[in-house]
Amino acid sequence: MLKYAIIFLVISMIAGAMGFFNVSAVARRISFVLFGIFIALAALVLLA
């Protein structure tokens, strides 16, 4: 899941640099959501 978050973050950076701000915003939001889910699951695994 962290891999997908990083992929979407890279897509958002590339799209933002090229001027595709709508694509950039969507990819950035997806990357933040996936990263948040990853952190929550990682914390659960470490605490369990």
- What is the rounded end-to-end Cα distance, in angstroms, of the chain? 19
Contacts for 41 with CB less than 8 Å, ≥ 6 apart: 1
pTM above threshold 0.85: no
pLDDT tens column, 3-41: 888 888 888 888 888 888 788 888 888 888 888 899 898
Contacts for 19 with CB less than 8 Å, ≥ 6 apart: none
Give the 3-state secondary structure of 9-48: HHHHHHHHHHCCHHHHHHHHHHHHHHHHHHHHHHHHHHHC
pLDDT computed for residue 47 by the predictor: 93
